[in-house]
Amino acid sequence: MPPLTLRAALAAAAQRFAFSATPSLDAELLLAHALGITRERLLLTLDGWQVPDTFDTLVERRAAHEPIAYLTGIRAFWTIDLHVAPGVLVPRADSETLIEAAVAHFAGTSGPRRVLDLGTGSGALLLAALDEWPDASGVGIDASPAALGIARDNAERLGVATRAQMVEGDWMGTGEAFDLVLCNPPYIEVGAVLPFEVRTWEPASALFAGADGLDDYRRLAPLLCAQIAAGGVACIEIGSTQGAEATSLFETTGLNVTIRRDLAGHDRCLVITP
């Protein structure tokens, strides 16, 4: 039997990925990765390549619901491309809402000088902020040594290692007050139904926060005020149904809270000022 053409290989892979919301895109990203080219170049030169041997292995792994970002090792976020791997959450477009909120807060100014990212994971929020404001520096904190290793690698790859310090820690921060505090804490209730690939592959410690998903907000709320400098802001991600309850937790500590919605119109970010 002659080898599959690229078009046939893409079609066959997309059929295997029927569980995905984007089966054709998944197949294209994996084939481009196997060829060592961009998806855009792949689509422009479909008839100029042979299917590489490594594509079959990638298809099998994706068919087992392994996230695309773990297979390619890359995830685009805001204006940067991040290395991701098992041990950190795959950055979501919804989390860009936090950067949008920060940009709005600092509009018309020189921007934040110091940035704190609590629960930094891959470093997505901190590194996106440092790319947005080239004169800023910051600290990413995470309890996971594996995540901190990935975050440090990303800072090196993006050329901002001298501006981004990654340290092991928790919601208590560093004792310094920052102009911008970013945080995407665990906020999913234990027992919630999640997509198989999220539940199986992504770290549970970065997903789940007690019976109602609010446990980490309860820990963070009384600690946050001391971490925001005068004129500063904290942008905290929330689940789409948690706006009222999460807002109350922070308001009871004397903080001012508004809610910013994501592009889908869902509550996504608490915008908090002293």
Query: pLDDT at position 1, please?
Result: 46
Question: Which of the listed CATH numbers 1.10.8.10, 2.40.30.60, 3.40.800.10, 1.10.12.10 matches domain 6-64?
Answer: 1.10.8.10
3-state DSSP assignment of residue 133: coil
The bridge status of strand 164-168 relative to strand 137-142 is parallel
Options 3.90.180.10, 3.30.420.40, 3.30.300.30, 3.40.50.150; CATH of 78-273:
3.40.50.150
Query: Which contiguous run of DSSP H or E holds residue 232?
Result: strand 228-237
* Token pair for 81: 């491309």
Q: For tokens 């007690």, name the residue.
A: 210
Chain-centre distance for alpha carbon 264: 17
User: For position 3, what pLDDT does the model report?
Assistant: 64
Same fold, 6-64 and 78-273: no
With b for 16 or more beta-carbon neighbours within 10 A and e for fewer, the 101-124 pattern comes to bbeebbeeeebbebbbbbbbbbbb
Model-level pTM?
Answer: 0.94
Query: Residue ranges per domain, the chain?
Result: 6-64, 78-273
Facing residues of 178 across strands?
228
pLDDT of residue 2: 53
Decide if 69 contacts 30 (C-beta within 8 A).
no
Q: Return per-residue pLDDT of the chain as tens, 274 residues.
A: 456 789 999 999 999 999 999 999 999 999 999 999 999 999 999 888 899 999 999 999 999 999 999 999 999 999 999 999 999 999 999 999 999 999 999 999 999 999 999 999 999 999 999 999 999 999 999 999 999 999 999 999 999 999 999 999 999 999 999 999 999 999 999 989 999 999 999 999 999 999 999 999 999 999 999 999 999 999 999 999 999 999 999 999 999 999 999 999 999 999 999 9
